Amino acid sequence: MDHRSADSDHILSVIVPVYNEESVISELHKRLAKVLDGLSMTSEIIYINDGSTDTTLEILNGFREQDERVCILDLSRNFGKELAMTAGLDHACGDAVVVIDADLQDPPELIPDMLNEWQRGYDVVYMQRRSRQGETWLKRFTAYGFYKVMGKLGTVPIPENVGDFRLLDRRAVLALRRLREENRFMKGLFAWVGYSQKALLYDRDERFAGETKWNYLRLWTLSLEGITSFSTAPLKMASLMGLLTATGAFFFGVWIVLKTLLWGDPVQGYPTMMVVILFLGGVQLISIGILGEYLGRMFMETKRRPLYLLKGQALAKTTCSLHQQQENHNGSADA
Residue ranges binding ligand UDP (CB under 6 A): 17-19, 21, 50, 78, 80-81, 84, 101-103, 105, 207, 212-214
Rounded CA-CA distance 156/124 in Å is 15
Question: Could you tell me how many helices (H) and strands (E) the chain has, helices first?
Answer: 11, 8
DSSP strands (E only) in 225-271 = none
Q: Name, in order, each residue with C-beta under 8 angstroms of 274's C-beta and a sequence gap of 6 or more.
A: none
CB of 290 to ligand UDP, least distance (A): 27
For ligand UDP, give the closer residue by CB, 73 or 238.
73
For ligand UDP, give the closer residue by CB, 85 or 93.
85
Residue 78, binding choice from ligand UDP, Mg ion, none, Cβ under 5 to 8 Å by partner class: ligand UDP
Order across the sheet with 11-18: list the strands: 197-202, 124-129, 162-169, 96-99, 11-18, 42-49, 70-75, 310-314
For ligand UDP, give the closer residue by CB, 17 or 108.
17
Contact 91, 322 (CB under 8 A): no
What does 40-96 look like in DSSP terms, one character per residue?
A: SSEEEEEEEE-S-SSTHHHHHHHHHHH-TTEEEEEESS---HHHHHHHHHHH---SE
CB of 63 to ligand UDP, least distance (A): 15
For Mg ion, give the closer residue by CB, 48 or 316.
48
Residue 21, binding choice from ligand UDP, Mg ion, none, Cβ under 5 to 8 Å by partner class: ligand UDP
CB of 329 to Mg ion, least distance (A): 34
CB of 17 to Mg ion, least distance (A): 11
State how far the alpha carbon of 258 is from the alpha carbons of 167, 170, 263, 269, 271, in Å. 68, 71, 8, 15, 19
Q: Name which of residues 87 to 116 contact Mg ion (CB under 5 A).
A: 103, 105
Residue 180, binding choice from Mg ion, ligand UDP, none, Cβ under 5 to 8 Å by partner class: none
CB of 146 to ligand UDP, least distance (A): 13
For ligand UDP, give the closer residue by CB, 11 or 18.
18
Which residues in this chain contact Mg ion in the complex, by CB under 5 A? Answer: 103, 105
